[in-house]
Chains A and B, each alone.
Chain A
Amino acid sequence: MTERAGSLSSRPKTLIDKIWDAHVVVDREDGQSLLWVDRHLLHEGSFHAFDQLAKRQARLHRPDLTFGIADHYVPTRNRDSLAPEIKRMVDQLSDNCAKHDVTLFGLDDPRQGIVHVTIPAQGLTLPGTIMVCGDSHTSTHGAFGAYAFGIGASEVAHVMMTQAIWQKRPKAMRVTVEGALPAGTSAKDIALHLIATIGADGAQGHAIEYAGSTIRALSMEGRLTLCNLSIEAGARLGLIAPDDTTFAFLRGKPFAPKGAAFEAAVHAWLSLRSDEKAVFDREITIDATALAPTLTWGTTPEQALPITANTPDPATVGDAARARTLTDALDYMGLKPNQPLTGIAIDRVFIGSCTNSRIEDLRAAAAVLAGHRAKVPGLVSPGSSAVKQQAEAEGLDRIFTEAGLQWVESGCSMCVGMNGDLVPAGERCASTTNRNFKGRQGPGSRTHLMSPAMVAAAALTGHLTDVRTLTQGAHR
């Protein structure tokens, strides 16, 4: 292995290689490396790992690099009277964090929010760091040029005890997106288009670096959305080289380096980019100018199409297994082959989740809704208590409530339904979340994934709608 490491250091490196190489504690003969972990994030679901720790009577190796956040189970309404089951989950996290001296952003903390929204906003996500969390959407933090990935409970326990993790170097994929995003599209549309193109397992075994002029022009919010969805393409993680947009976001954030230390950090971060001649195992290019608002019609994120399209017809698919998969998805979703996507009636909307609940997402939805009434009920759950406060300061909450939508507290909420916010069986929900799996939003629920602006458009008309027809002054 030392030989391989030697030859790697002399040839041009990808950003992925650079971060990897800076974190190797040990390279083992068999190709596994023990990597140092800079940040470890815990949530209510981490109780399995704490139980494993207790069984071994072990302590946390580096509580100062570990942060706990209550998000998966927290109620978004009536927080004073928690259901006993939910209270047990939230209390368990508080007790475990207190016992192990872990900083906790708990239910009453103004810093509370969805882990992948609040941690970056606290300046805890830094370029060039390795971050892990027992949550697959940890890839979100790659927006800052962090090497961030989701792990299972046994690995969480391992990181708790050692502050390190065994990994095999992933293959590197570069997704280059060029050109200006057309009106009505955003990072969500880039991601859904990519997943539909390469498949939900298209990036398996790979880490993705996003590059190109479109990516450079994205705000931090947009980059977070894009990296968040990398896991839905099967990638271990997705990341973006840090630049002035990244540094401007981080300056002055609570846990980020301050003063001269910040300037020194920026200096170090400037080297975090793929060398010009670096070779990727796979390259994908996307022409952003050709994108249309994109949404899912089926039960996996790869079943996504532009809003102008029709549902697929399994009868025209040669491959029997694939035809069976399409038929199954159409049946579950209550749709017919060849049905135009525009016009499919929805029952409710949800705006929230670590994919699309940041201030920019709320602004985009509010811009479509302003001054109008929604035809269906819906829930808007900001990504963190801080985002909620900012949205209220901007008057966005009034736009949502005047449209007839519920404005609630922050948490994972209807993304996963663990806290009791559910889509009833058989109902169809236009949602800004990341998974349209069967039953994800509740048993029997039907989910269509799309951008906040597209969800707002669907709310106004009561059916799946091309947001461009609303914002261009056409009929409502």
Chain B
Amino acid sequence: MTPLIVFEAVACPLPLDNVDTDQLIPARFMKRPRSDGYGQFLLHDLRQDASSPACALDQDRFKSCQILIAGRNFGCGSSREAAVYALADFGFRCVIASSFGDIFASNAVKNGILPAVVSPEQAETLLAHQGVIQGETMIIDLPDQCIRIGNHTVDFSIDPVWKTQLLNGWDDIDMTVSYASDIARFNQSDAVARPWAQPDRSPAQ
């Protein structure tokens, strides 16, 4: 995973609450292998509706955007990591929102995307910011946990563990391998403490 530290990019406004993962990628596209690229399916159905704010993604000034700004409860719903694949493959490295679906946020970090939490008022301010609307770039500073556009600065929060992972580009699995002996030891004592936890495959009595 590429580390994420400080970067500058265009931010696309998506002034919607409760953007669920069914919106981020409709289920019918999920049969495809990831190698096909999922970016084309991002917010697919919303982008068909000319009146939807999601159409901003197709405007020239947001073509190269890597930051998405949304309302509350972004990424709620299904656990489909494909929603994050769609964002990543489109080019996004950061989503700013006032709250996130838990599973989505965790999936995002595992794919090197920063879920930055700001207050509802700050989200509204950023969504309405002239610089954002005109497609000017903003700076995401992860070490300092702040967002800068023009002379406007907004702090964001992020779980400290996720912050470390993103800064270092760490992969969970590599990290866990170093605990293999702890896992084996736990398993041994647990088998004694909770014998009933094993699936019983013997025939019914």
Q: How many residue pairs between the two chains, A and B, have CB atoms under 8 Å in the bound complex? A: 184
Q: Does A249 contact B (CB under 8 A)?
A: no
One of B76, B182, B202 near A200 (C-beta < 8 A): B76
Contact between B183 and A254 (Cβ–Cβ < 8 Å)? no
Are the CB atoms of B28 and A136 closer together than 8 Å? no
Tell me the bound Cα distance from A36 to B72 in angstroms.
Answer: 32
Near A by CB (< 8 A), chain B positions 48-103 give 71-73, 76-82, 84, 99-103
Select which of B77, B82, B196 is within 8 A of A437 by beta carbon.
B77
Q: For the complex, give the distance between the alpha carbons of A152 and B107 in Å.
A: 6
Q: Which residue of A lies closest to B201 (CB)?
A: A255
Tell me, rounded to whole Å, the shortest Cβ–Cβ distance linking A332 to chain B: 9
Residues on A facing B (Cβ under 8 Å): 22, 25-26, 30-32, 34, 36, 38-39, 45, 48, 51, 56, 64-65, 73, 85, 88-89, 123-124, 126, 128-129, 134-136, 150-155, 157-158, 161-164, 166, 168, 199-201, 204-205, 234, 236, 252, 254-259, 261-262, 264-265, 268, 299-300, 302, 321, 324-325, 328, 416-418, 435, 437-440, 443
Residues of B within 8 A of A136 (CB): 77-79, 103
24 contacts between A and B (CB under 8 A): A32-B161, A45-B30, A88-B31, A126-B196, A134-B79, A150-B79, A151-B106, A152-B80, A152-B106, A152-B107, A152-B110, A155-B107, A162-B176, A163-B187, A168-B161, A200-B18, A200-B76, A255-B199, A258-B202, A258-B205, A265-B196, A418-B30, A437-B22, A440-B22
Q: Which of A25, A168, A257 contacts B159 (CB 8 A)?
A: A168
Q: Assuming A30-B164, A234-B73, is B102 touching A22 (CB within 8 A)?
A: no
What residues make up the interface of B, taking CB atoms closer than 8 Å to A? 15-18, 20, 22-23, 26-28, 30-31, 33-34, 45-46, 71-73, 76-82, 84, 99-103, 106-107, 110-111, 120, 124, 159-161, 164, 172-173, 176-177, 179-180, 182-183, 186-187, 190, 193-202, 204-205
A234-B76, A416-B27 given as contacts; is B103 within 8 A of A150 (CB)? yes
Given A26-B182, A258-B200, check contact A152 B81 (CB 8 Å).
Answer: yes
Question: CA–CA, A238 to B113, complex, Å?
Answer: 28
Q: A152-B106, A325-B17, A439-B23 are in contact. Are A51 and B196 (CB under 8 A)?
A: no
- Enumerate chain A residues within 8 angstroms of B100, measured Cβ to Cβ: 204
* A38 smallest CB distance to B (angstroms): 5
Partner of A418, one of B28, B79, B195: B28
Q: Which residues of B contact A201 (CB under 8 A)?
A: 72-73, 76, 99, 101
CA of A328 to CA of B54 in the docked complex: distance in angstroms?
13
What residue in chain A is nearest B73 (Cβ atoms)? A201
Closest residue of B by beta carbon distance from A135: B79
A205 touches B173 (CB 8 A): no
Least CB distance from B25 to A in Å reads 11
Distance in angstroms between the alpha carbons of A214 and B80 in the assembled complex: 33
Extra inter-chain contacts (12) besides given A155-B107, A255-B200, CB under 8 Å: A36-B183, A89-B31, A128-B194, A205-B102, A236-B102, A257-B200, A258-B200, A264-B196, A300-B18, A417-B28, A438-B23, A439-B26
CB distance from B191 to the nearest CB of A (A): 11
- Closest 8 A/B residue pairs (Cβ): A265-B196, A152-B107, A152-B81, A153-B81, A154-B110, A201-B73, A150-B79, A136-B79
